[in-house]
Amino acid sequence: MPLPRSVLVVGSGGREHALVLALAKSPAAPRLLCAPGNPGIAELATCMPIAADEVAGLIALAQREHIEFVVVGPEVPLALGLVDELTKVGIPAYGPKADGARLEASKIYTKEILQKYGIPTAPAAFFTEPEPAIAYLRARPAPIVVKADGLAAGKGVVVAATHAEAEAAVHSLLALTPQSKIANQKSKILLEDCLVGEETSILVVVSGRDYVVLPTSQDHKRVGEGDTGPNTGGMGTYSPAEVVTPALLARIDREIVRPSVDAIAAEGIDFRGTLFIGIMLTADGPSVLEFNTRFGDPETQVVLPRIENDLLGLLWAAAKGQLAGTRLKISSAHALCVVIAAKGYPNNYPKGDAITLPKAIPCSVSILHAGTARTPAGQLVTHGGRVLGVTALAPTLHHAALDAYAVCDAIQCASKYFRRDIGARQLLRG
C-alpha cells in the first residue's frame, strides 16, 4: 500500500511534537507540515500559522499544499468536524469524524453507551440544575466525582473528598459556559461514584471493528508530588505500566476494549482514529473512567518511542480501513516523560519567561515542546502552562528516570516547575 508523500499534523503541543518526531522517522520520508506547530516542531516540519480550531483555514491549507494525509492531534478540531470536512474534499485523515469525537466531547454520551452495552464503569447520574444534583450526591458516599460534560482540556473533573467540596464543584461546573464553537447549550454535569485503585491509560488504534492496542502507560494527573493538588492535563507518564500484567491486559481487551469497539460500531459510528480508554484498576476488576478520541498527552510521548512499526504506515492503514492483520512490534525498553510546567499551573502562571535548553543531551532523551514560543529576537520563551516534556528511553524505568531528570535539571527557566516523583509508584513496587 503506497504511503502518503505529504502529511499535515494539526496541533501545537507535546503530543503533536511526539507525532511529528515519529512520522519524521518513516522510511517513506514524507514532506511534513504542522498547523500551527511550535518551535520544537519547526525543527522537523514546516509550521503554518493556522489555529487547530480554524477548520476552514486548515481545509484550504491542505488543498493548497496538496496534502495527501492529515493527522489530527487535539480533540477540539475533531469535535468541530474537521475530519468530516476533509472527507468531503477527498483528503484522508487519521481521527474520528464528529460523531465519533462526541465520545470525548460529551462524557454523558459515553457513559450512556457504557451503560447500554454493559461495559464496566462506575454508577453515575446526569444533571443540568444544582438542586437535584446536590440531592443525589448527598445520598451517595464520599468521595464522589463531579465531571463537566463537555471538553475541558483534562481539567473538568473534580474528585471531591467531602460532600461540601462536591457541592461547590456542582455549582462551579454548572456555571461553566460551553465552548461556543462546539455547543451552544446548557451546561451539564455527571456525578459518578469514586472508583478506588490505580489508573492506567489504554490507547487503541481503531479502524471500524479492527483495532490494535498500543503499549500501556500510566499518567500522573495531579499537579503536586504524591498525587496531591488539582488535576491537570498531565504532569508526566511512563510506559509500560507493569501493574497491567499480560493476564490483566487480556482481561481488559476481552471485557473493555473489544466490547467498546463493537459498541461504537453498533451505534453506527465508523471510527477511524485513537480510542483512549482511561481505566481504573479496582479490586473488582478494570472499570472505564472515560473515553478520549485522540492520542493522550503526555501518554503519546512515552507510547510512540516504544513502537517499532512505521507510525505513518500504522495510521494510514487505520484511516484507509486496512488495519486488519496488523501486528505491533513493541520495544522492551522503558520510557518516562516528565512535564515541565510554569509555576502556578493549572491556575495562573507567567508567560514569556526565557528558556535555555542544554546544548548536549543523551541520544536516548527527547525534549518535546508544548507551551513554547520564540520572541522576534529568537529567544525561546514559555507560552503555556505545560511548557516542555522531557522523555527518556532506557532498558529500565530507573535509568529512564535518571536520564529524564538530569535533563530537566539542566534546563534553565525562572518559572520552571516539575514533579520529581514520576514513575515512583512502579519504582517503589519494583
* Other residues' Cβ atoms within 10 Å of the Cβ of residue 303: 25
pLDDT band at 157 (very low <50, low <70, confident <90, very high): confident
The amino acid present at 360, given as its one-letter code, is A
pLDDT band at 153 (very low <50, low <70, confident <90, very high): low
Q: What is the pLDDT of residue 230?
A: 87
The amino acid present at 415, given as its one-letter code, is S
Among 175-189, 297-311, 381-395, the range scoring the smallest mean pLDDT is: 175-189
Q: What is the pLDDT of residue 182?
A: 41
pTM, 2 dp: 0.94
pLDDT tops 70 at residue 274 = yes
- Give the cell for residue 208: 471500524
* Other residues' Cβ atoms within 10 Å of the Cβ of residue 135: 10
Residue identified by cell 510512540 is: 304
Residues in the chain: 430
Q: What is the pLDDT of residue 184?
A: 44
- Give the cell for residue 71: 493527522
* Other residues' Cβ atoms within 10 Å of the Cβ of residue 83: 27
pLDDT tops 90 at residue 430 = no
Q: Is 252 exposed, middle or buried (0-12, 13-18, 19+ CB in 10 A)?
A: buried
Sheet order of strands, 285-292 included: 210-213, 198-207, 272-282, 285-292
The span from the CA of 85 to the CA of 98, in Å, is: 10
pLDDT band at 180 (very low <50, low <70, confident <90, very high): very low
- Give the cell for residue 39: 518551535
Q: What is the pLDDT of residue 31?
A: 98
Mean pLDDT of all residues belonging to the chain: 94
Q: Which residues 6+ apart lie within 8 Å of 70 measured at CB?
A: 7, 8, 9, 10, 58, 62, 82, 83, 86, 91, 92, 93, 94, 95
The span from the CA of 124 to the CA of 85, in Å, is: 34
Give the helix/strand (H/E) hosting 256. none
Q: What is the DSSP letter of 52?
A: T
User: What average pLDDT score do residues 120-133 get?
Assistant: 94
The string of pLDDT tens digits covering residues 217-255 is 999 999 999 999 988 989 999 999 999 999 999 999 999
User: 8, 65 in Cβ contact below 8 A?
Assistant: yes
User: 282, 197 in Cβ contact below 8 A?
Assistant: yes
User: What average pLDDT score do residues 304-312 get?
Assistant: 98
The span from the CA of 34 to the CA of 13, in Å, is: 11
Distance (Å) of CA 128 to CA 154, 159, 190, 255: 21, 19, 9, 31
Domains assigned to the chain: 6-97 (3.40.50.20), 123-193 (3.30.1490.20), 333-430 (3.90.600.10)
The string of pLDDT tens digits covering residues 23-67 is 999 999 999 999 999 999 999 999 999 999 999 999 999 999 999
Q: What is the pLDDT of residue 206?
A: 98
Q: Which residue has the higher pLDDT, 123 or 172?
A: 123
The span from the CA of 165 to the CA of 182, in Å, is: 29
Q: What is the pLDDT of residue 14?
A: 98
Residue identified by cell 474534499 is: 89
The string of pLDDT tens digits covering residues 348-395 is 999 999 999 999 999 999 999 999 999 999 999 999 999 999 999 999
**344 CB-side CA count, 13 A:** 11
The span from the CA of 425 to the CA of 430, in Å, is: 9
Percent of the chain with pLDDT over 90: 91
